[in-house]
Amino acid sequence: MRIRLLMVLFVLLPLSALAETAEEKGLAIAVEADKRDTGWHDSKSELEMVLRNKNGDESQRAMRNKSLEVEGDGDKTLIVFDAPKDVKGTAFLSFTHAVKPDDQWLYLPALKRVKRISSSNKSGPFMGSEFAYEDISSQEIEKYKYKYIKDEAIDGRPTFLVERYPQYKNSGYTRQLAWIDQETYRVTKVEFYDRKDSLLKTLTYHDYKKYLEQYWRAHRMEMINHQTGKSTTLAWKDFSFNTGLTERDFDKNSLKRAR
What are the residue ranges spanned by the domains of the chain? Answer: 21-257
Residue in 52, 48, 51, 25 with CA at minimum distance from that of residue 182: 25
**Which residues are CB-contacts of 38 (< 8 A; sequence separation ≥ 6)?**
69
The per-type count for the chain, helices as H runs and strands as E runs, is 4, 13
Residue 139 half-sphere exposure, CB side, CA atoms within 13 Å?
Answer: 18
Query: Rounded to the nearest 5°, which phi and psi values hold at 71?
Result: -70, 130
Cα separations in angstroms, 103 against 119, 169, 209, 222: 8, 15, 30, 25
- Average pLDDT value for the chain: 91
CATH of segment(s) 21-257: 2.50.20.10
Determine the average pLDDT of the residues in 21-50. 97
Residue 6 predicted with pLDDT over 70: no
Q: What is the pLDDT of residues 118-155, one digit of tens each?
A: 988 889 999 999 999 999 988 899 999 999 999 999 99
**Could you tell me what percent of the chain has a pLDDT over 90?**
80
Contact 45, 69 (CB under 8 A): no
Give dist(CA 239, CA 170) in Å, integer: 32
- For residue 147, give the nearest of 33, 22, 31 by alpha carbon: 22
> What pTM, to 2 d.p., does this model score?
0.90
Computed on alpha carbons and rounded to an integer, the radius of gyration of the chain in Å comes to 21
pLDDT (tens digit per residue) in 53-95? 999 999 999 999 999 999 888 999 999 999 999 999 999 999 9
Contacts of 36 (CB under 8 A, 6+ apart): 184, 185, 214
What are the tens digits of pLDDT across the range 209-233? 999 999 999 999 999 999 999 999 9
